[in-house]
Structure 1
Amino acid sequence: MRQQRWFRITALALGLFAINAVARLVIRFAFDGEDDAQSIATIVMFLAIGLTLAVLAFVRSQREKPAGWLPDVAFGALGGMALTVLVGPFLSGDGPFANGAGDFFSQVWIYGACAIVGILLGYWTAVVLGRDYRSRALKAFTEARKARPRRVVGR
């Protein structure tokens, strides 16, 4: 079951939602009414989501091509965003549109931006370090070419 594609996507979505749920519960029970603390907790939550996606992209990009891991990570992030935006406000005692449509869509845009930046940073870090799938394949090809003796062509 763990090898199936939907399981990885669902696990990522639930993990990202868990980060949001913990942040919302901390804000609700520890910092209720303190706007500065709530803002800091929200920023930390979005940083944790971006960092989680960066680490996941870094690890997955080393083992397989982007065409194999990028859809999984993207759909997992979309699922996490849907849970965060639609279900998360109920943990705070509100509804998804309790603060208006502007707040709803700003949360969607901020979440999307943090997810995209996190995935890009993770992948670009792997590329810069030469640890991504393509760089490793090119390195193996180069080493294999060096190991073979040069073919002499007689004329």
Structure 2
Amino acid sequence: MRQRWVRIVWLAAALFAINVIARLVIRIGFHDNDTAENRVSIIMFAVIGIVLAIVTFVRAQRVPPSTWLPELGAAALAGMLLTILVGPFVSGDSPFAGGAGNFFSQVWLYGGFAIVGTLLGYWIATMLGRDYRSRSLAAFARAKTTKPRRVVRR
């Protein structure tokens, strides 16, 4: 049980670290350029989605979705809360400095990229037949075909 929380915390911290790096890049390199700030933000959300896709792809091969999905959901939610509520302080702002519209657009962008990234990771694992269920069914089929047939005596 403890390992489960450790995985959640590490993933949430990694997602928040991606946000901190993006905010520092914006603060140092593109402070007054709105177009560049928007591009770096979109790249940040895309990297978060890619990280979640990779983690999903790896976890989907080892354990059933009932195990990894709540972990990924909790980590993504924690990462989002850290990104939206703590992240602006890295840039020298407050969470609501850009207004409610900016705040909620970050929530929607983060949620959308997280969901799409997770789905892509799972779909790719399923498409390649490497997800937990496909591997279990393949192992079952191999076990059934390699067993000798029972001889029925009358």
TM over 0.5: yes
Q: Which residue does 2:16 correspond to in 1? A: 17
Q: Which residue does 1:114 correspond to in 2? A: 113
Q: Which residue does 2:47 correspond to in 1? A: 48
Give, in whole Å, the separation in 2 of the partners of 1:99 and 1:32.
15
How much does 1:154 deviate? 4.4
Over the matched positions of the two proteins, sequence identity in percent amounts to 60
Q: Which residue does 1:79 correspond to in 2? A: 78
Please list, as runs of the form range in 1=range in 2, the aligned pairs for 1:93-104 lying within 5 A after superposition.
Answer: 93-104=92-103
Q: Which residue does 2:142 correspond to in 1? A: 143
Letter in 1 for 2:45: F
Q: Which residue does 1:27 correspond to in 2? A: 26
Give, in whole Å, the separation in 2 of the partners of 1:33 and 1:102.
20
Letter in 1 for 2:25: V
Q: Which residue does 1:91 correspond to in 2? A: 90
* CA offsets 1:38-88 (integer angstroms, 9 cap, x no match): 111111100100000000000000000001111111100000000000000
Give, in whole Å, the separation in 2 of the partners of 1:6 and 1:104.
28
SS in structure 2 at match of 1:116? helix
Give, in whole Å, the separation in 2 of the partners of 1:36 and 1:107.
16
Give, in whole Å, the separation in 2 of the partners of 1:104 and 1:61.
32
Give, in whole Å, the separation in 1 of the partners of 2:74 and 2:105.
20
Give, in whole Å, the separation in 2 of the partners of 1:129 and 1:85.
35
SS in structure 2 at match of 1:4? helix
TM-score relative to the length of structure 2 = 0.96
How much does 1:149 deviate? 1.8
Letter in 2 for 1:142: A
